[in-house]
A and B are shown apart, each in its own frame.
Chain A
Amino acid sequence: MDLFSNLELGVATMLKPMNILFCFVGAFLGTAVGVLPGVGPLATIAMLLPITFKVSPEASIIMLAGIYYGAQYGGSTTAILINLPGEASSAVTAIDGYQMARQGRAGTALSIAAIGSFIAGTVATVLIALFAIPLSMLALSFGPVEYFALMTLGLVASITLANGSLVNALAMILCGLLLGTVGTDIYTGSARFTLGLDGLADGIPIVAFGAGIYGISEILTGLEEELTKPAEVAQISSMIPSREDMQTALPPIARGTILGSVLGVLPGGGPLLASFGSYALEKRVSKHPERFGKGAIEAVAGPEAANNAGAQTSFVPMLTLGIPSNPIMALMMGALIIQGVTPGPDFMNTHPALFWGVIASMWMGNLMLLVLNLPMIGLWVRLLRIPQRALFPAIIAFASVGVYSVNTNPFDLVVMVAFGFVGYLMTKLRCEPAPLLLGFVLGPMIEEYFRRAMTISQGDPMIIVQKPIAAAMLALAAVMFVVALMPTIARKRDEIFVEDAK
């Protein structure tokens, strides 16, 4: 099948009333959680996963995807209006966006952010469609050795591009891999590390795990310092940007789209890295870098385009290779697996309607977001007045019911609470939860491929070096890790993410 008939199938899938509805629900919820500080897309997706099991895999992934990229739109709204990024990836937008708002140009900043995101989302959708086929063709020729190498590369790359201590992140991956081994061994049927509990016989339930590590632990973090006053919201004047503003903003949008698309595909990349990268790039190419930090429109347009492009292209490794590049993708992959669909190289052949439908829905979702965000900005501003003390009980209630409903097993709630505590402890010890989740999801697969590879070679580990593709991937992983450990690069990494820590 060629690209056009594929896209035709995708559009046909997207236009089913059920899918349109869920795309809208996803985009709407995504904007809402993006606007609300303290509620992230990860926690939301973890909470809503159980609900999605009641609908078709198409509708559920379309909705979850909508939440993910919708949050990128919503996050910028709070960043511009109250200088409080709703999402980490909007932290850069807050720098110049809020300055623009203080100068009475909040409307311009908001519409440039939305238009930039829309353009980036549209281009990224086309890019995904173009690159998905060749990537999965390549992956189809892979055997267990190559898969083992590819997953190792994915895990290593995901931590070298993320922030925080490398050694801690590596340790978190290993913990994730170990947690992934809990449950019944697929080859021998013996129970492993279940502590004799029936609830762990099928492994640690992923929804409870995700809801605990992200939802519950985020609430504990939020309760450390409670906001007593509702934030002050900047006044919005005209929403229509001037011709001059558009002309200044378009080149950064184009650059941000390309940069974001590339950084999104990389494991561990995605929207956060994309927006920081784009800000740095715009500052470098600008003729007036001194205006940055004082309300430069380029510094809003570029990063906003980049984070949306990055959010979308981060679907590529999950959909084509079966390797999630960030925790949100890991949760979505978990959702697909529970629905009986395993993403991987032959995913687009076995489930073409699902694959192309999701891609087409991204474009539709972006269109909906444009409508949701520009004329309806007043609604989102009002959302900022909801006090946090009403949100936290809602998250806890929905997470409890949601997690319970997956297996109708009360034990899953105990798992959620346990991992909520672990997640909170981890943030206190400066260990990122993201590599833990990635290791947990990839663990069972990496173990299976490792065992199969070693069985083929009769226990000779040298098989990894004898296969050229696998050897190249492992070498690349080693190089990335060593480079990231070098003092100069390590300092650069700290600089890039230093804004995020504030």
Chain B
Amino acid sequence: MELRVQRAQVSLTDLVTSVMLLGTAGFFAFTAWRGLKIGTPGAMGPGFFPLMIATLLAVLALVIGARAFSHAARPARVAGLRAFALVLGAPVAFALLIGPGGFILAIATSTLMACWSSRLMSWRFALLVTLGLTALSTGIFVYLLKMPVSLFGSWAGL
């Protein structure tokens, strides 16, 4: 998958960077302005420093935005959708399952998901890796480091 540049003379990379930075600066500046006391330089409120930094960031974002029109950029390679979904989904699965499902179910599910992020994975290999990693992390974290978790969670009725 490639991000293509529409016109040769515009750097899409710089343009996107600029917009994202402006958004970040805007969020911090707006939130500080609306909800926090700004104060004066001699007696600063909690909003003073963030507002100051956000303003500086906005200026830099505009500089980067202006630079976008001075040169063309190469297209960038991006990881596949499946990789995204599974790599980012695996830790979230762990977070969701650790309470109700317990440690073993959480770690096994997230490992299995992570395995399938690779296009080169086979069922046999994935099960092997999952089994090995589940045993290893249960041993290290639960038995050796005594992490306060339940092995089976509330679903098992324990």
- Chain A interface helix/strand/loop/mixed: helix
A401 touches B21 (CB 8 A): no
B64 within 8 A of partner (CB): yes
A467 within 8 A of partner (CB): no
B87 touches A223 (CB 8 A): yes
A100-130 interface bits toward B, Cβ cutoff 8 Å, 1 = contact, 0 = none: 0000000000000000000000000000000
Q: Closest approach, in angstroms, between the C-beta of A144 and any C-beta of chain B?
A: 13
B20 within 8 A of partner (CB): yes
Please measure, in the bound complex, the distance between the C-alpha atom of A398 and the C-alpha atom of B83, giving whole angstroms: 18
Nearest residue (CB) in B for A192 is B46
A174 touches B88 (CB 8 A): no
A54 within 8 A of partner (CB): yes
A168 touches B17 (CB 8 A): yes
Nearest residue (CB) in B for A390 is B129
Please measure, in the bound complex, the distance between the C-alpha atom of A190 and the C-alpha atom of B36, giving whole angstroms: 8
* Most central of A168, A177, A400, A430 by chain B CB within 10 Å: A400
A461: chain B residues at CB < 8 Å are 41
The number of inter-chain residue pairs (CB within 8 angstroms) is 189
A349 within 8 A of partner (CB): no
User: Which of A71-79, A273-281, A451-459, A468-476 is the interface stretch?
Assistant: A451-459
A460: chain B residues at CB < 8 Å are 41-42
In chain A between 291 and 339, which residues have their CB closer than 8 angstroms to a CB of chain B? Answer: none
A175 touches B41 (CB 8 A): no
B49 touches A404 (CB 8 A): no
Please measure, in the bound complex, the distance between the C-alpha atom of A401 and the C-alpha atom of B111, giving whole angstroms: 11
A411 touches B95 (CB 8 A): yes
Q: Closest approach, in angstroms, between the C-beta of B113 and any C-beta of chain A?
A: 8
A424 within 8 A of partner (CB): yes
A397 within 8 A of partner (CB): yes
Question: Known interface pairs A178-B28, A220-B79, A224-B79. Does A421 touch B57 (Cβ–Cβ under 8 Å)?
Answer: no
In chain B between 115 and 129, which residues have their CB closer than 8 angstroms to a CB of chain A? Answer: 115, 117-121, 125, 129
A192 touches B50 (CB 8 A): yes
A474-493 interface bits toward B, Cβ cutoff 8 Å, 1 = contact, 0 = none: 00000000000000000000
A238 within 8 A of partner (CB): no
A404 touches B94 (CB 8 A): yes
B84 touches A220 (CB 8 A): yes
A450 within 8 A of partner (CB): yes
B31 touches A193 (CB 8 A): yes
Question: Known interface pairs A175-B21, A185-B46. Does A413 touch B16 (Cβ–Cβ under 8 Å)?
Answer: no
Q: Which of the four size classes fits the interface of chain B?
A: 35 or more
Of A54, A228, A396, which contacts B110 at CB under 8 A? Answer: A396
A420: chain B residues at CB < 8 Å are 87-88, 91
Q: Closest approach, in angstroms, between the C-beta of A368 and any C-beta of chain B?
A: 22
Nearest residue (CB) in A for B117 is A223
Question: Known interface pairs A223-B118, A420-B88. Does A178 touch B24 (Cβ–Cβ under 8 Å)?
Answer: yes
A171 within 8 A of partner (CB): yes
Please measure, in the bound complex, the distance between the C-alpha atom of A184 and the C-alpha atom of B102, giving whole angstroms: 32
Of A224, A410, A413, A429, which contacts B13 at CB under 8 A? Answer: A429
In chain A between 192 and 239, which residues have their CB closer than 8 angstroms to a CB of chain B? Answer: 192-193, 216, 219-221, 223-226, 228
B61 touches A171 (CB 8 A): yes
B42-61 interface bits toward A, Cβ cutoff 8 Å, 1 = contact, 0 = none: 11111111100110110011
A187: chain B residues at CB < 8 Å are 46
Nearest residue (CB) in A for B112 is A393
Please measure, in the bound complex, the distance between the C-alpha atom of A413 and the C-alpha atom of B99, giving whole angstroms: 13
Please measure, in the bound complex, the distance between the C-alpha atom of A421 and the C-alpha atom of B96, giving whole angstroms: 19
B120 touches A178 (CB 8 A): no
Of B49, B91, B99, which contacts A451 at CB under 8 A? Answer: B49
Please measure, in the bound complex, the distance between the C-alpha atom of A219 and the C-alpha atom of B90, giving whole angstroms: 12
Please measure, in the bound complex, the distance between the C-alpha atom of A46 and the C-alpha atom of B133, giving whole angstroms: 19
Of B13, B46, B53, which contacts A430 at CB under 8 A? Answer: B13
Q: Closest approach, in angstroms, between the C-beta of B140 and any C-beta of chain A?
A: 8
Q: Which 7 A-B pairs have CB atoms at the shortest separation, nearest pair first?
A: A459-B42, A459-B41, A410-B95, A185-B46, A393-B114, A413-B95, A389-B118
A-B contact pairs, 26 of them (CB 8 A): A167-B64, A170-B60, A171-B17, A175-B21, A181-B28, A181-B50, A188-B46, A193-B27, A216-B87, A223-B117, A225-B77, A389-B125, A392-B87, A392-B114, A393-B111, A396-B90, A401-B107, A401-B137, A410-B95, A420-B87, A420-B88, A425-B20, A447-B49, A454-B42, A455-B43, A455-B44
Supply 11 further A-B pairs (C-beta < 8 A) apart from A178-B25, A193-B50. Answer: A178-B54, A181-B28, A190-B37, A216-B88, A225-B77, A228-B120, A387-B120, A392-B87, A397-B133, A400-B95, A413-B91
